């Protein structure tokens, strides 16, 4: 598939300027962090590894040591999400899936009707958003997104929703597993066989699409010198011939057809030490030759490990990697990946427990991706969604809204712009600045304005930020200074000046008055009589004004 | 000019016929659909500047009731302004200004200031928050309204905002708020109609392209990037900057005066060509429960400084507008969420009160004074308040009708009810030009009662000029305790029997309202 240009339409990003010469950088490395473990560090860890940090999450992890917190995040115990449900109607389908009850999952139901598949794809995407919104206290959902960006497919191209569910499930179940095994699994993943044409790759009509991306995007990258050659792409493509997908049985398997496989010997370039993979024509030829191919690629262990560690680093820490970071972080982590036989967890554990990760210079420097912004907003403000089980239809409707919002902000889950994933995760030199332009920034603000204002109403249900309920989760909401302090600490990863805090307190909570007790009195009056509309409105309008303003600040876009 | 006329004259025929099948615009001007489309929009170059005095301004020390100086002095000896220091206003000996308000004295004497006495609302609320919300929303005291009066006006004039804005007809923010953030005043039925310039520094940064400092860290770098895009994305930033930049010379303003700083910006933006209709600025510090004045000299101290800043800023603003030739386009008004009690407290301050005077200023005001001094009893109780003579919503309604030419039907929608017109200003473009009511009515008794004092019942004698006539009975704190009359009447003298048997003993006020006229008189219930 051709890679498409990311930016469509007339939105303008500001021009990337080289990082200012005076910008401070750090020399810290992967030594275990031994500094203070305060709310600040907890929030840094959570905002990077979850979608937003709720007050409850922050309190929970504050009660643990840093080591315990990271270990818990890396070892999810919660069961996997239940599979997506049939929440769609079947109007217009020539072959409606009447065998699937409303509310039951469709993932094991064979149905090749285009209308049904379209609705299942939509159902999958909504469900995926629901998984993020309801995530457990682990890094699993964030890693699932990481792998989706790394091993990108586009649902609109794959078409078959049942294959797409298997793909998402693979990423989620192996999100903290072994990288090499994951590459093998994704190579034979039915959705990927559709997306990069593996199922059409035969001895007589070889298709190099997957073979190229396997090396260029999934394992080695294109920046090595020397690197794999065009001949290597062709040779690997021949190894990968013969795989197909059966969409007519409920397990939707990939399978190998020896007669479609290129049984000749495949010879690789000097980059791979002129390796020859002997051609085979047996029923197991596909798997045997694939293993040889992957062993050969992973024998370039330095290149592969650096490539993967760099990608993880950019996703979780910062996009710019200078010489010190290269030497003190990337290289040692790459060694850990190699020494642990491609297990991902030891790398993440070392990184997330390192003094480099908690370095103050690495805090607050990532611009939120649209999913971080939209899902994080819902989670941090404790937005209440319809019950996923008893009101599943309404829940899917709301998840669909959040999906649409993130999509309008240029991150459409399930449909990254190309096989390379979202450019903000890789595109030199702008990286995450690409998320923010004159089109998307006002849209982000409009979304937060809506959520703190009237909320989004659909089918008689509403999702909205409950300003008072949020304030009640703070330690001392009756004290305007402490309220502002805790709010700023929660929302922003970059310090806000005392002058600004005082101004916001005065403008919003005190309505221009000088004495703090006016807010305290108003809050206490509301607490004493919460059903009195006037008392409720008095505090609610002030809190909403403050929260709205805060979410419109540039600082809110950082994490 | 009404929008309909404006469209008929200004919209080229080629624009309308494509939508409306080639009928001429003039004919279509009477087409019901087009009428609905045209709605109530009125083309106008008039500007309103609202000055909010945060904290509850002490009206009795700003506008001193010279005709009752003895009782005034007795009620607040520790903060009373000495009689010989009060600034005189031409044409009256009854009313004087705080000694530091020489600027407003001069504006009054040159016919550019109107004073409206005892503005408030029935059943006053003494919470800053709630009272501010009432003033901004123009709601009743016991009513929750979540939109603001100016927001409703702008929403009426510019439907569907912000969808499709800015556009060729309205290139600029509808309302601009300086000095605070997203005020309820500008809240429309669904969105806020105003644009906030959250502080003056950021305003200067906006027009001068200065970035606020961000730390020299990766996070600071990202922050600067987002801020840069935010500025580029601000659809009004360019217009505001250009308007400000096009004005290179302005009059002199006092320094160290934040209100003056804000008004200077407003003058600059108006002169710079923004079509923005409503500006809102504010100053704080009026909540003076203690040490409102210096004890050695009551003409100095906190409140005196505030009075001076307010007065100096308005005068400088007015002079600047005149110098730039835009004086006739701008009308200003002050308001505070409430006044203070009649009696001062022992800590040389005043506590939260009810009605208070406000100022309307500009070259197009009807100069003079609306209303009379509040009656100060010889021995006011601690809780006694200045009773309301004019509902603050009458001030808004008058400005909307007589300054922005809002028609009666829209006016009632915007203001939620029908309010008395006060004839405060003149805009000859408007259909309705309300005559000035001169209800200082010295010696004219529109309403009296007998017997007074009374024990159980008393007879109200009143005169109406016909039309809607309202009589309210308020207690000393400003609460409306009875409404003996509220209906249309023919002109004439009437009598009304009032039974106050259920009321506790004490001071009450009878308020008569008839069209633009009203009068408030005290009466006393005794055992």
Could you tell me the CATH number of the domain that includes residue B474? 2.60.40.3080
CB within 8 Å: A442 and B233: yes
User: What is the token pair recorded at A250?
Assistant: 């409920």
Map residue A85 onto helix, strand or coil: strand
**Segment A35-53 mean pLDDT:** 97
Percentage of chain A lying above the pLDDT 70 cut = 96
pLDDT confidence of residue B159 = 84
Rounded Cα distance, B521 and A241, in Å: 101
- Name residue B87's beta-bridge partners: B97
Total structural domains within chain B: 3
The β-bridge relationship of strands A243-245 and A254-256 is antiparallel
Tell me the average pLDDT across A82-95: 95
Put simply, whether B490 touches A (Cβ < 8 Å) is: no
The answer to whether the Cα torsion of A528, A530, A532, A535 is positive or negative is positive
Q: Taking the CB of residue B480, how many other CB atoms lie within 10 A of it?
A: 18
Same domain, B64 and B32: no
Cis amide linkage into residue A429, ω under 30° from 0: yes
Check residue B33 and give its pLDDT: 37
Q: Does A432 touch chain B (CB under 8 A)?
A: yes
Q: Is A528 on the interface with B (CB under 8 A)?
A: no
Residue B299 covered by a domain: yes
Q: What is residue A417's three-state secondary structure?
A: coil
- Residue to substitute from A509, A531, A554, interface B, most B β-carbons within 10 A: A554
User: Cα–Cα–Cα angle for A550, A478, A509, nearest 5°?
Assistant: 40
Can you tell me the distance from the alpha carbon of B95 to that of B370, in angstroms, rounded to the nearest whole number? 11
Query: Are B300 and B306 spatial neighbours (Cβ–Cβ below 8 Å)?
Result: no
In 3D, which of B53, B61, B57 has the Cα closest to residue B376? Answer: B61
Best of B198, B233, B336 to disrupt the A interface (most A CBs within 10 Å) is B233
Q: Hey, are the CB atoms on A511 and B129 less than 8 Å from each other?
A: yes
pLDDT over 60 at A367, yes or no: yes
B224: nearest CA partner in chain A: A554
Cβ distance B133 to A537 less than 8 Å, yes or no, reads yes
Same domain, B267 and B166: yes
Predicted local distance difference test score (pLDDT) of residue B187: 83
Beta-bridge mates of residue B506: B525
Q: Cβ(B325)–Cβ(B125) under 8 Å?
A: no
Contact at CB, A441 and B284, closer than 8 angstroms: no
Place of tokens 């293993």: A291
Task: Return the number of other C-beta atoms located less than 10 Å from residue B412's C-beta.
Answer: 14
Residue A172 predicted with pLDDT over 70:
yes
Q: What is the pLDDT of residues B456-497, one digit of tens each?
A: 999 999 999 888 899 999 888 888 899 999 999 999 999 999
Two tokens, residue B440? 């200082």
Following CA atoms A29, A30, A36, A41 in sequence, which dihedral angle do they give, to the nearest 10 degrees? 100
- Three-state secondary-structure class, residue B187: strand
Residues 342-401 of A with CB under 8 A from B: 360-367
User: What is residue B12's predicted lDDT score, i.e. its pLDDT?
Assistant: 30
Domain final residue pick, B367, B387, B407: B387
Q: Judge if B61 and B95 occupy the same domain.
A: yes
Q: Which two tokens stand for residue A258?
A: 């020896």
Tell me the H-state helices in A453-497. Answer: 467-472, 480-491
A9 touches chain B (CB under 8 A): no
Q: Is B496 helix (H, G, I), strand (E, B) or coil?
A: strand
Dihedral sign (CA A250, A252, A256, A259)? positive
According to DSSP H, which parts of B124-210 are helical?
128-137, 149-157, 200-208
- Give B132's contacts in chain A (Cβ within 8 Å): 511-512
- Identify the three-state secondary structure at position A522: helix
Handedness of CA B242, B245, B247, B250 (dihedral sign): positive
To the nearest whole Å, the CA of A387 is away from the closest chain B CA by: 28
Average pLDDT over residues A163-188: 98
**pLDDT of B31 strictly over 70:** no
Give yes or no: residues B114 and B249 share one domain.
yes
Last residue of a domain, one of B362, B387, B412: B387
Where b means 16+ CB within 10 Å and e means fewer, A77-89 reads eeeebeebbbbbe
At a CB cut-off of 8 Å and minimum separation 6, what does B295 contact? Answer: B78, B348
Asked if B58 and B310 count as a contact pair (C-beta separation under 8 A), the reply is no
Beta carbons of B291 and B349 less than 8 angstroms apart: yes
Contact A507 B226 (CB under 8 A): no
8 Å CB contact of A507 and B218:
no
A558: phi then psi, degrees, rounded to nearest 5: -105, 155
Contact A45/A352 with Cβ under 8 angstroms? yes
Orientation angle between helical segments A66-74 and A345-352, nearest 10 degrees = 150
Name beta bridge partners: B92: B89
To 5 degrees, how large is the angle CA B441–CA B444–CA B446? 100
Question: Is pLDDT at B190 greater than 80 in this prediction?
Answer: no
User: Do A19 and B221 count as a contact with CB atoms less than 8 A apart?
Assistant: yes
> What domain range is B13 assigned to?
3-38
Report pLDDT for B432.
Answer: 65
Residues B374 and B486 in one domain: no
- Residues A138-158 have a mean pLDDT of 97
Distance of residue A5 Cα from the nearest chain B Cα, in angstroms? 21
Beta bridge partners of B471: B485, B512
Report the pLDDT value the prediction gives residue B17, as an integer from 0 to 100. 27
Residue A498: pLDDT band by 50, 70, 90 thresholds?
Answer: confident
Gap from A74 CA to chain B (nearest CA, Å) = 26
When pLDDT is averaged across residues A352-377 and rounded to a whole number, the result is 97
A437: contact with B, CB 8 A cutoff: yes
Give B218's contacts in chain A (Cβ within 8 Å): 19, 23, 25, 318, 320, 361-362, 365
Number of alpha helices (DSSP H) and beta strands (DSSP E) in chain B: 16, 19
Whether A493 and B219 lie within 8 Å, measured CB to CB: yes
Comparing CB atoms, the residue among B144, B181, B218 nearest residue A365 is B218
Q: Verify whether the Cβ–Cβ distance B127 to A522 is below 8 Å.
A: yes
Name the A residues in 22-81 with CB < 8 Å from any B CB.
22-25
Which pLDDT tens digit goes with each residue over A262-290? 999 999 999 999 999 999 999 999 999 99
Task: Give dist(CA B192, CA A117) in Å, integer.
Answer: 43
Cβ–Cβ < 8 Å for B424, B367: no
In a domain, B439, yes or no: no
Residues A555 and A496 sit within 8 Å (Cβ to Cβ): yes
Residues B477 and B329 grouped into a single domain: no
Share of chain A above pLDDT 90, in %: 88
Check CB contact under 8 Å for B181 and A513. Answer: no
Task: Report if residue B85 sits inside a domain.
Answer: yes
Kindly state whether residue B284 falls inside one of the protein's structural domains: yes
Residues B302 and B292: beta-carbon distance below 8 Å:
yes
Is residue B181 very low, low, confident or very high in pLDDT (cuts 50, 70, 90)? low
Q: Is B140 near chain A, with CB under 8 Å?
A: no
Q: Is residue B422 part of a domain?
A: no
**Pair B34, B56 in one domain:** no
Q: Could you give the residue ranges of the DSSP H alpha helices within A252-391?
A: 285-299, 301-316, 323-325, 331-339, 345-352, 355-358, 370-380
Q: Is B216 on the interface with A (CB under 8 A)?
A: yes
In order of A99, A442, B138, B325, B403, the CA distances from A392 in angstroms are 19, 31, 43, 65, 55
A289-325 pLDDT, tens digit each: 999 999 999 999 999 999 999 999 999 999 999 999 9
Task: Tell me how far apart the alpha carbons of residues B90 and B111 are, in angstroms, rounded to a whole number.
Answer: 10
- The answer to whether the Cβ–Cβ distance between B222 and A558 falls below 8 Å is yes
| Contact state of A512 with B146 under an 8 Å Cβ cutoff | no
- Is residue B113 located within the same domain as residue B14? no
DSSP structure class, residue B352: B
The answer to whether B522 faces chain A, any CB pair under 8 Å, is no
- B201 occurs within a structural domain: yes
Of B371, B387, B403, the last residue of a domain is B387
A518/B230 touch (CB, cutoff 8 Å), yes or no: no
Alpha carbon B162 to its chain centroid, in Å, reads 26
- Looking at the fold, whether B483 and B465 belong to one and the same domain comes out as yes
Whole-number pLDDT of residue B182: 60
Query: What's the CA gap between B295 and A58, in Å, rounded?
Result: 53
B179: confidence class by pLDDT, cuts 50, 70, 90: low
Contact B287 A493 (CB under 8 A): no
How much is the pLDDT for A385? 98
Q: Select the highest-mean-pLDDT range: A157-171, B8-22, B268-282.
A: A157-171
Q: How far is CA A278 from the centre of its chain?
A: 40
Q: Convert the pLDDT of each residue in B379-425 to its tens digit.
A: 999 989 999 999 999 999 999 999 999 988 889 999 998 898 888 99
Q: Kindly state the tokens that stand for B519.
A: 């009068």
Instruction: Tell whether B428 is covered by a domain.
Output: no
Chain A contact for B229, CB < 8 A? yes
**Rounded to whole angstroms, how far apart are CA atoms B330 and B322?**
10
Show Cβ contacts of residue A513 under 8 Å, excluding neighbours closer than 6 positions.
A506, B54, B55, B128, B284, B287
B71 and B17, same domain (yes or no): no
Chain B residue numbers touching A12 (CB-CB < 8 A): 232
Task: Give pLDDT, residue B212.
Answer: 55
Q: What residues 83-102 of chain B have any CB closer than 8 A to a CB of chain A? A: none
Residues of A in contact with B199 (CB under 8 A): 503
**B177 touches A at CB < 8 Å:** no
pLDDT band at B203 (very low <50, low <70, confident <90, very high): low
Beta bridge partners of A218: none
Q: Is residue B363 over pLDDT 90? A: yes
- The CA angle A288-A289-A290, to the nearest 5 degrees, is 90
Q: What is the pLDDT of residue A408?
A: 93
Instruction: For residue B427, give both structure tokens.
Output: 């805009």
> Å from A514 to nearest chain B CA?
7
A13 contacts B133? CB cut-off 8 A: no
CA B515 to chain centre: 20
3-state secondary structure B215-241: CCCHHHHHHHHHHHHHHHHCCCHHHHH
- Same domain for B26 and B69, yes or no, is no
Specify the CATH number for the domain of residue B338.
3.40.720
Residue B261 falls inside a structural domain:
yes
Nearest CA to CA, how far is B344 from chain A (Å)? 20
Distance from CA of B363 to the nearest CA of A (A): 30
Residue partners of B407: CB distance under 8 A and separation at least 6: B40, B401, B431
Is B483:B472 a contact under the CB 8 Å cutoff?
A: yes
- Residue keyed to tokens 């069961």: A79
B429 close to B503: Cβ distance less than 8 angstroms: no
Beta carbons within 8 Å of B215's beta carbon, 6+ residues apart: A494, A495
Q: Which residue has the higher pLDDT, B213 or A123?
A: A123
β pairing state of B492-499 and B457-464:
antiparallel
Q: First and final CA of chain B: distance in angstroms?
A: 60
**Chain B residue whose CA is closest to A22:** B216
Please give the residue that has the higher pLDDT: either A494 or A179: A179
**Residue range A52-61: average pLDDT?**
97
Instruction: Tell me the pLDDT of chain B averaged across its residues.
Output: 84
Contact B180 A512 (CB under 8 A): yes
Least confident range of A76-85, B193-202, B368-377: B193-202
Task: Tell me: do B93 and B34 sit in the same domain.
Answer: no
A450 in contact with B at a CB cutoff of 8 Å?
no
DSSP B138-172: T--TT----S-HHHHHHHHHSTTTTTT-S-SS--S
Chain B partners within 8 Å of A364 (Cβ): 219, 222
Q: Does A101 touch chain B (CB under 8 A)?
A: no
């Amino acid at each position: 598939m051709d890679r498409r240009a990311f930016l469509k339409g007339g939105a303008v990003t500001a021009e990337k300027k080289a990082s200012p010469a005076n910008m401070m950088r750090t020399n810290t490395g992967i030594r275990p962090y031994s500094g203070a473990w305060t709310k600040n560090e907890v929030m840094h860890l959570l905002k990077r590894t979850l979608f937003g940090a709720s007050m409850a999450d922050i309190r929970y992890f504050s009660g643990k040591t840093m080591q315990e917190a990271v270990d818990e995040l890396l070892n999810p115990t919660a069961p996997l999400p239940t599979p997506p449900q049939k929440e769609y109607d079947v109007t217009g389908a020539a072959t409606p899936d009447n065998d699937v009850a409303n509310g039951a999952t469709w993932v094991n139901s064979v149905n090749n009707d285009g209308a049904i598949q379209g609705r299942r794809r939509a159902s999958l995407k909504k469900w995926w958003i629901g998984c993020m919104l309801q995530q457990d206290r682990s890094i699993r959902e964030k890693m699932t997104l990481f792998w989706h960006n790394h091993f990108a497919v586009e649902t609109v191209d794959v078409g078959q929703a049942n294959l797409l569910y298997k793909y998402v499930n693979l990423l989620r179940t192996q999100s903290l597993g072994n990288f090499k095994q994951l590459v093998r699994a994704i190579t034979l993943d039915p959705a990927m066989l559709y997306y990069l044409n593996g199922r059409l790759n035969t001895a007589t009509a070889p298709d190099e699409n997957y073979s190229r991306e396997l090396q260029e995007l999934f394992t080695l990258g294109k920046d090595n010198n020397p690197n794999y050659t065009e001949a290597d792409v062709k040779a690997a493509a021949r190894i990968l011939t013969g795989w197909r997908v059966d969409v007519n049985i409920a397990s939707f398997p990939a399978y190998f057809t020896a007669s479609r496989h290129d049984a000749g010997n495949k010879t690789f370039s000097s980059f791979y030490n002129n390796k020859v993979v002997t051609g085979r024509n047996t029923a197991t030829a596909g798997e045997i030759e694939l293993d040889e191919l992957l062993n050969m690629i992973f024998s370039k262990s330095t290149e592969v490990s650096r490539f993967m560690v760099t990608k993880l680093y950019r996703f979780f820490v910062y996009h710019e990697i200078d010489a010190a970071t290269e030497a003190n972080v990337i290289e040692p982590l790459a060694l850990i990946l190699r020494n642990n036989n491609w297990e991902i967890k030891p790398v993440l554990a070392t990184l997330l427990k390192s003094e480099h990760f908690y370095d103050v210079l690495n805090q607050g420097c990532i611009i939120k991706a649209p999913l971080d912004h939209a899902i994080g907003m819902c989670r941090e403000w404790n937005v209440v969604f319809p019950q996923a089980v008893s009101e599943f239809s309404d829940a899917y409707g709301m998840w669909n809204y959040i999906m649409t919002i993130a999509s309008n902000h240029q991150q459409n889950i399930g449909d990254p712009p190309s096989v390379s994933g979202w450019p903000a995760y890789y595109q030199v030199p702008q990286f995450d600045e690409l998320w923010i332009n004159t089109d998307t920034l006002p849209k982000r603000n409009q979304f937060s304005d809506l959520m703190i204002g009237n909320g989004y109403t659909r089918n008689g249900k509403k999702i909205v930020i409950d300003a008072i309920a949020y304030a009640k989760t703070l330690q001392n909401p009756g004290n305007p200074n402490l309220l502002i302090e805790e709010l700023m600490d929660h929302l922003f990863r970059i310090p806000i000046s005392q002058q600004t805090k005082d101004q916001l307190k005065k403008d919003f909570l005190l309505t221009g008055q000088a004495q703090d007790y006016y807010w305290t009195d108003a809050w206490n009056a509301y607490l004493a009589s919460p059903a009195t509309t006037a008392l409720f409105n008095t505090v609610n309008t002030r809190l909403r004004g403050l929260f709205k303003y805060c979410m419109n600040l540039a600082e809110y876009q950082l994490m | 000019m009404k929008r309909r006329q404006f469209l008929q004259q200004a919209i080229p025929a080629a624009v309308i016929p494509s939508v409306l099948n080639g009928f001429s615009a003039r004919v279509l001007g009477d087409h019901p659909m087009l009428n609905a489309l045209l709605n109530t929009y009125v083309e106008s170059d008039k500007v309103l500047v609202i000055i909010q005095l945060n904290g509850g301004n002490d009206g009795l020390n700003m506008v001193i009731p010279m005709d009752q100086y003895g009782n005034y002095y007795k009620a607040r000896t520790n903060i009373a302004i000495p009689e010989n220091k009060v600034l005189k206003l031409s044409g009256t000996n009854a009313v004087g200004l705080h000694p530091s308000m020489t600027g407003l004295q001069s504006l009054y004497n040159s016919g550019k200031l109107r004073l409206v006495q005892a503005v408030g609302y029935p059943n006053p609320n003494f919470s800053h928050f709630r009272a501010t919300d009432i003033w901004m929303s123009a709601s009743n005291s016991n009513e929750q309204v979540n939109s603001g009066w100016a927001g409703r006006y702008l929403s009426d004039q510019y439907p569907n905002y912000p969808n499709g804005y800015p556009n060729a007809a309205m290139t600029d923010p509808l309302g601009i708020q300086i000095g605070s953030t997203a005020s309820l005043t500008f809240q429309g039925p669904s969105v806020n109609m105003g644009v906030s310039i959250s502080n003056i520094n950021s305003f200067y940064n906006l027009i001068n392209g200065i970035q606020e400092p961000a730390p020299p860290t990766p996070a600071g770098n990202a922050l600067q990037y987002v801020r840069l895009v935010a500025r580029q994305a601000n659809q009004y930033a360019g217009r505001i900057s250009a308007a400000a930049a096009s004005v290179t010379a302005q009059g002199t303003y006092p320094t160290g005066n934040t209100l003056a700083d804000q008004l200077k910006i407003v003058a600059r933006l108006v002169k710079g060509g923004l079509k923005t209709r409503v500006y809102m600025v504010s100053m704080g510090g009026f909540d003076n429960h203690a040490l409102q004045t210096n004890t050695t000299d009551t003409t100095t101290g906190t409140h005196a400084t505030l009075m001076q800043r307010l007065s100096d800023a308005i005068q400088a603003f007015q002079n600047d507008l005149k110098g730039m030739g835009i004086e006739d386009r701008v009308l200003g008004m002050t308001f505070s969420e409430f006044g203070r009690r009649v009696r001062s407290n022992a800590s040389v301050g005043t506590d939260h009160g009810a009605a208070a005077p406000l100022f309307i200023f500009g070259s197009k005001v009807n100069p003079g004074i609306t209303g009379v001094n509040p009656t100060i009893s010889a021995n006011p109780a601690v809780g006694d308040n200045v009773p309301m003579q004019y509902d603050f919503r009458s001030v808004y309604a008058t400005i909307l009708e007589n300054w922005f030419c809002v028609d009666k039907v829209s006016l009632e929608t915007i203001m939620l009810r029908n309010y008395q017109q006060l004839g405060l200003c003149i805009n000859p473009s408007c259909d309705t030009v309300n005559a000035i009511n001169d209800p200082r009515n010295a010696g004219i008794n529109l309403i009296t009662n007998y017997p007074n004092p009374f024990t159980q019942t008393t007879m109200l004698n009143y005169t109406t000029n016909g039309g809607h006539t309202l009589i309210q009975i308020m207690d000393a704190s400003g609460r409306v305790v009875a409404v003996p009359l509220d209906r249309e009447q023919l002109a004439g003298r009437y009598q009304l029997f009032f039974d106050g048997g259920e009321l506790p003993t004490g001071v009450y006020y009878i308020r008569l309202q008839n069209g633009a006229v009203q009068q408030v008189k005290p009466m006393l219930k005794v055992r």
